[in-house]
Structure 1
Amino acid sequence: MATDHVNGNGTEEPMDTTAEVTHSEHFQALLEAGLPQKVAEKLDELYVAGLVAHGDLDERAIEALKEFNEDGALQVLVQFKESDLSHVQNKSAFLCGVMKTYRQREKQGTKVSDSIKGPDETKIKELLERTSYTLDVTTGQRKYGGPPPESVYSGSQPPVGTEIFVGKIPRDLYEDELVPLFEKAGPIWDLRLMMDPLNLLFVHILIIRLDSNRSHTPTCFWRTGFLFLWVFLF
């Protein structure tokens, strides 16, 4: 009866306040590999979320992660999780790059800036659908094209000396804004944003024209509002 509970005479089942944790089928393998419990749980969260598969990470990446103390390993995995992995072909190498960058920052006593925005994935997807180019992301660069689709160019790779380097690119500009700008000069062979995992440093772009008999001369010069460009076409 209700009065029994009020008077403390009844028995009441205790509430289960323990949240059920879902692990992937590879969680035990992470523990057996020697990862600390919390680190294994954090990495397994990425498995469960579908951000990375167990098969994407090789033994080298797991061994490198084990070399960190628990706090450092957890911070590395947080940075890895917050990175844009949608165009990363080699996630194992990417994770190793994040770990290397973390160690460098730790030695320098610097932290990752939260003020730099990442790419707008919706706009990036729209760009790739429009141009049929590929995008490959590693810890060192974002490579658009190289080679371009055959519908744009099916010849051999342009020779050395046809590249241009553009510096002082704003750190919040990505392919969705840069490609339309450089397309004004001609078809793009590849466009590379050289970067550390979280901070854009400079851009290396190679622009081609389908008229391969054209001599290598500077043919375009214009101001974009934030930089001046000489573009070499051939």
Structure 2
Amino acid sequence: MTQRLAFIALPILLLAACGPVEKKADEAGAAPPPAAEGQSASVAVAVTPHAGGPLAVSAQGVGPITSATAFDAPTLAALFPKAVVKSAFLHSGPGPAAPIITVEQNQIPLMEISRNEDGDLGAIRLEGGDVRGPRDETLLTKWSALGLDIAHCRAGEGRDVNTVVCVRPEAPNVQYLIGVRGWTQGGLPTVETLNAKGQLNGLVWRPIEGAAVGSA
């Protein structure tokens, strides 16, 4: 009788011994590998909000704004914590008003941000404040000091009529808005006229994907 009980108990003991081993293997398989955790952590990118001082405009973006930034007032308010950020509508020409976001800092209108057809961040228009262009240009700089090539310029249209719109080859998605005092004839003025009366009145930045590379 004792020998028979021993034979019956042996398989039960073997099964009991196998159970915890299989459970540990399942737990080990469910845990993410260390390499995957390290890879996920390296994707995070810190963005420094703009608290004040010069606002740099480059091919990559406007201050903390890049092509990945959402067209969203709370997002922009977080990037510009000392500014007044508001949603508004722009009435320009026929058709419905276009949604925009305005950013004002130190009681100076800093940016007007539009939305593209996909609902993402579109153009950013800068016509006031301490704005710096791709080569550290400031607003109101004379044409003669900008070093722009008229071959990369065109006559402005719509709200920019009688304005000269230029780009630099290294930053084709940043437009320079050149005002020409007294110019109302349309088309491009001569270089002599630009040297005498032209100045930088604003900048317009677009995500590089939405810019016409190589032209103004």
TM-score (norm 1): 0.25
Q: Higher relative contact order by CA 8 Å / sep ≥ 6: 1 or 2?
A: 2
Q: Tell me which structure has the larger Cα radius of gyration.
A: 2
The structure with more strand, counted as a fraction of residues: 2
TM-score (norm 2): 0.26
The structure with more helix, counted as a fraction of residues: 1
